[in-house]
A and B are shown apart, each in its own frame.
Chain A
């Protein structure tokens, strides 16, 4: 059924705590500044190795948007020792699984391997941390591939297109206004020299974190890390400019018209994160508020808007407390057949208003806490996710153990605190609204009035 959570970052850390005796993390730093985190998990003879760089789309200036992501693609295109394509072939031929991802705040590369083959990952990652070739013909070809990726994921997806313009409208000075994949004109004009400079600037052991989770011995991991990453020189790093978002001074609204069938509306309120909050408890209160609205099928959005008034065919909320910069607390959805985006927007705003006015009930609060406590156990099932959490927290500068007390912090949130963050942050002055107005699919004319609802009426 169409019920979804909004993905704020590459992965949401909102409900990702750790209280059920997770294995401890061994932490050490090499002389060149590379931080290494190791968590033992001996359930299967498998290891996940991830290398995280402190660079992503929020580090990019205008004109070079998407350069972090394009560079991520080119990291597979060869070094003097490992020719293009050989990286992927070697990992595959050793039974490995691998990929990479770029987010607003980080770029990361990972391999999953049978535990005895961890050294292959270290050897290859250490090599490409400092020795990438970046041949112009490869850059040109890969820019085409990324342009296709952008067409696939954004340009031909009405909701993704709306969401991109929504972000661009919500932020003025924050680099979160730019899409991670970059604007098409930038993807097509970034030069090999731009990439070379970007690589030199950010790909260094003292700007990276190596995360290893799996059936390994920390001492052995350390030995391998020293052997392969130890010889790499560190860099003089210049941290990115603060790029703080200027205060918003009133509600913003945009309309996106594109060929589509289903209307969509998104609301975003500027909200603090663990990095930016004035009061340490505020992000936890916002995370619980997120759960009150959309924590499972019992949340208020499903209960009141999908099942109750049936104004929404699907709707959800999203909040990423682990972002490096100020984030959006987002509510979004599709109106049910026969209902309008305006009606859905009003219903979502009414739910927000209720949070500003009334205290949440003890039952609702206990349901959210129960879900957080259970999620704390469930998330330990995935080696990849465990690594993801350590790497993301460390890379945004919170420290890998910042959410170790997540369950306790969530349990300590009171109804009054939830009302307080709603009153302080979920206000019209901090709001941006984006509405997708579908154009007819068989031309670029507006859809006939009522055509969206005619499907739904029996």
Chain B
């Protein structure tokens, strides 16, 4: 067997040389505004005769107010009727040109995505359909009721899933009265109470030019891309930008144990992290790649799975949003191993926060991120996902070009300092779902 150590060091040398050539290979983002002022982010990809278009709105569940589920119900209803088209007609119009349409709504953003062949015979009917359902959804009363029922079934499914119960309980404990507290899927009581008028009003206030962004990736020249973006959103009313969300208050540290008839307990442990504009995010992200964000190689998975066989998966993540998103550690283990898993997880976080990452592990994590940067941009769907984040969070247009340099510029001390400033391992929120009600408190 050839010596792998030698191979490894020679590959590291290659990696450093490659970083600059890779950055040069990153596609440039073109940026302009539609005739009614909607920002457009475009990456030409001329190899495959297809296009991925996405329209994002600042219209996620953070805008639900006291009506949890309103944003998602509105988003889900878009394809269920527009102008004089029924849901059946919309489905026929999209399917007969081979288009793929999806709508989704999370805490920050709501969006619709269209994948189409680029040939105008297929593309134009698809774009015309999506434009109309953004602008003139009908929200017919019987359709509102039907989709409401489907969302209620989804909620029922969440109550049989220990993972979903844990997720909802964690966000509630973390965010209290903040708009991020309630589940995007809504609650049974609020879904039942939602009215058509509220849906219409939500659409009127949020699905506007002032709240929209467009991303395009595909086989288009610039004039065609401009036409496409205008066709999608230029007829949207101007509207008003939604106000900024409030910053979440620091939550109370607590431990919640929720019984559930499952063989495993789902454990979520975390606290408030940072928002997407926080300059510390990159040092926190790099540190987390060592701690729990890089699969089985990470410290948390090493301790929980590789050393002790306690769980199939154990990971951690910062999820920055418009306002501070969570830092969250997540694992699932047999009910009688919960206390061991909790102790190991807490100790691993305490140690990492106090001492910072080991130098070699930090360099390995950095190499993973920079050496693997091109992987995240290989293919139109990956480019479209990256563009969506850049557009929604208003990141600089050279974000992709400067990413590797940014990662290379972060020192070990910066990582350690950022973790110590942002993480308080003695002030965590812990949610455990699973096992009988009699489980004693730790």
The 4 closest A-B pairs by CB, nearest first: A95-B371, A374-B98, A95-B372, A81-B1
Contact A373–B91 (Cβ < 8 Å) = no
Please encode chain A, from 339 to 381, with 1 for each CB lying within 8 Å of some chain B CB and 0 for all others. Answer: 0000000000000000000000001001100111111011011
Closest CB in chain B relative to A458 CB, distance in Å: 6
Contact A95–B153 (Cβ < 8 Å) = no
Chain B residues closer than 8 Å to A93, beta-carbon distance: 8, 12, 363-364, 367-368, 371
Contact B48–A380 (Cβ < 8 Å) = yes
Contact A127–B297 (Cβ < 8 Å) = no
Contact B91–A46 (Cβ < 8 Å) = no
Closest CB in chain A relative to B81 CB, distance in Å: 10
In the bound complex, CA of A296 to CA of B99 (Å)? 9
A217 at the binding interface (Cβ < 8 Å): no
B413 at the binding interface (Cβ < 8 Å): no
Closest CB in chain B relative to A137 CB, distance in Å: 10
Chain A residues closer than 8 Å to B278, beta-carbon distance: none
A382 at the binding interface (Cβ < 8 Å): yes
B393 at the binding interface (Cβ < 8 Å): no
In the bound complex, CA of A142 to CA of B239 (Å)? 57
**Residues of B361-418 contacting chain A, CB below 8 A:** 363-365, 367-375, 377-381
A206 at the binding interface (Cβ < 8 Å): no
Contact B375–A95 (Cβ < 8 Å) = yes
Select one of B4, B90, B263 contacting A151, CB under 8 A.
Answer: B263
B309 at the binding interface (Cβ < 8 Å): yes
B7 at the binding interface (Cβ < 8 Å): yes
A456 at the binding interface (Cβ < 8 Å): yes
A20 at the binding interface (Cβ < 8 Å): yes
Contact B91–A302 (Cβ < 8 Å) = yes
Chain B residues closer than 8 Å to A114, beta-carbon distance: 15, 18, 22, 371-372, 374-375
In the bound complex, CA of A138 to CA of B272 (Å)? 37
Closest CB in chain B relative to A269 CB, distance in Å: 25
B244 at the binding interface (Cβ < 8 Å): no
Contact A92–B156 (Cβ < 8 Å) = no
Given A76-B296, A94-B367, A458-B192, A307 and B146 contact (CB-CB distance below 8 Å): yes
- Give the segment of A26-34, A115-123, A197-205, A233-241 that binds chain B: A115-123
Select one of A44, A261, A381 contacting B159, CB under 8 A.
Answer: A261
Select one of A261, A334, A377 contacting B49, CB under 8 A.
Answer: A377
Contact A337–B153 (Cβ < 8 Å) = yes
Chain A residues closer than 8 Å to B161, beta-carbon distance: 157
In the bound complex, CA of A148 to CA of B333 (Å)? 6
Please encode chain A, from 31 to 49, with 1 for each CB lying within 8 Å of some chain B CB and 0 for all others. Answer: 0000000000001111000
Contact A314–B98 (Cβ < 8 Å) = no
In the bound complex, CA of A337 to CA of B115 (Å)? 32
Contact A145–B48 (Cβ < 8 Å) = no
Known: A85-B306, A378-B100. 8 other contacts (CB 8 A): A1-B150, A1-B154, A2-B157, A45-B374, A92-B364, A148-B332, A337-B156, A443-B261
Chain A residues closer than 8 Å to B377, beta-carbon distance: 44
Contact A94–B156 (Cβ < 8 Å) = no
**Residues of A94-147 contacting chain B, CB below 8 A:** 94-97, 112-114, 116-117, 119-120, 123, 127, 131, 140-142, 144-147
Closest CB in chain B relative to A99 CB, distance in Å: 8
Closest CB in chain A relative to B262 CB, distance in Å: 4
Closest CB in chain A relative to B361 CB, distance in Å: 9
Contact A366–B96 (Cβ < 8 Å) = yes
Chain B residues closer than 8 Å to A452, beta-carbon distance: 156
Contact B159–A96 (Cβ < 8 Å) = no
Contact B150–A314 (Cβ < 8 Å) = yes
- Which residue of B is nearest A116, CB measured? B14
**Residues of A146-181 contacting chain B, CB below 8 A:** 146-149, 151-152, 155-158
B250 at the binding interface (Cβ < 8 Å): no
Scoring B101, B115, B260, B263 by chain A CB atoms within 10 A of each residue's CB, the highest score goes to B263
Please encode chain B, from 148 to 186, with 1 for each CB lying within 8 Å of some chain A CB and 0 for all others. Answer: 011111111101111000000000000000000000000
Contact A370–B98 (Cβ < 8 Å) = yes
Given A81-B4, A114-B372, A381-B381, A43 and B150 contact (CB-CB distance below 8 Å): no
Closest CB in chain A relative to B191 CB, distance in Å: 9
Contact B372–A144 (Cβ < 8 Å) = no
Given A44-B377, A114-B375, A441-B260, A367 and B150 contact (CB-CB distance below 8 Å): no
Chain B residues closer than 8 Å to A260, beta-carbon distance: 160
30 contacts between A and B (CB under 8 A): A2-B153, A2-B157, A44-B25, A45-B374, A81-B1, A89-B297, A92-B297, A93-B12, A93-B364, A93-B367, A94-B11, A94-B15, A95-B369, A116-B18, A148-B309, A148-B312, A151-B334, A156-B262, A156-B263, A262-B156, A297-B79, A307-B146, A310-B146, A314-B150, A337-B152, A374-B50, A382-B379, A382-B381, A383-B378, A456-B153
B238 at the binding interface (Cβ < 8 Å): no
Given A76-B296, A96-B372, A458-B192, A313 and B153 contact (CB-CB distance below 8 Å): yes
In the bound complex, CA of A96 to CA of B370 (Å)? 10
A336 at the binding interface (Cβ < 8 Å): yes
Contact B92–A298 (Cβ < 8 Å) = yes
| Total number of A residues with any Cβ neighbor in B under 8 Å | 91
In the bound complex, CA of A50 to CA of B98 (Å)? 30
Instruction: Classify the secondary structure of B's interface with A.
Output: helix
**Residues of A385-434 contacting chain B, CB below 8 A:** none
**Residues of B1-26 contacting chain A, CB below 8 A:** 1-2, 4, 7-8, 11-12, 14-15, 18, 21-22, 25
Chain A residues closer than 8 Å to B21, beta-carbon distance: 45
A82 at the binding interface (Cβ < 8 Å): yes
**Residues of B121-136 contacting chain A, CB below 8 A:** 122
Contact B45–A43 (Cβ < 8 Å) = yes
Contact B50–A381 (Cβ < 8 Å) = yes
A182 at the binding interface (Cβ < 8 Å): no
In the bound complex, CA of A157 to CA of B260 (Å)? 12
In the bound complex, CA of A452 to CA of B115 (Å)? 37
B55 at the binding interface (Cβ < 8 Å): no
Contact B309–A295 (Cβ < 8 Å) = no
Contact A80–B1 (Cβ < 8 Å) = yes
Please encode chain B, from 104 to 126, with 1 for each CB lying within 8 Å of some chain A CB and 0 for all others. Answer: 00000000000111000010000
A455 at the binding interface (Cβ < 8 Å): yes
Given A123-B2, A152-B332, A261-B159, A297 and B374 contact (CB-CB distance below 8 Å): no
A259 at the binding interface (Cβ < 8 Å): yes
In the bound complex, CA of A381 to CA of B22 (Å)? 20
In the bound complex, CA of A114 to CA of B15 (Å)? 9
Closest CB in chain B relative to A98 CB, distance in Å: 8
Chain B residues closer than 8 Å to A76, beta-carbon distance: 296
In the bound complex, CA of A123 to CA of B22 (Å)? 24
B94 at the binding interface (Cβ < 8 Å): yes
B87 at the binding interface (Cβ < 8 Å): yes
In the bound complex, CA of A306 to CA of B377 (Å)? 37
Chain A residues closer than 8 Å to B371, beta-carbon distance: 93-96, 114, 117
Closest CB in chain A relative to B144 CB, distance in Å: 11
In the bound complex, CA of A95 to CA of B371 (Å)? 4
- Which residue of B is nearest A119, CB measured? B7
Closest CB in chain A relative to B404 CB, distance in Å: 11
Select one of B18, B25, B153, B363 contacting A336, CB under 8 A.
Answer: B153
Contact B261–A370 (Cβ < 8 Å) = no
A444 at the binding interface (Cβ < 8 Å): yes
A275 at the binding interface (Cβ < 8 Å): no
Closest CB in chain B relative to A125 CB, distance in Å: 13
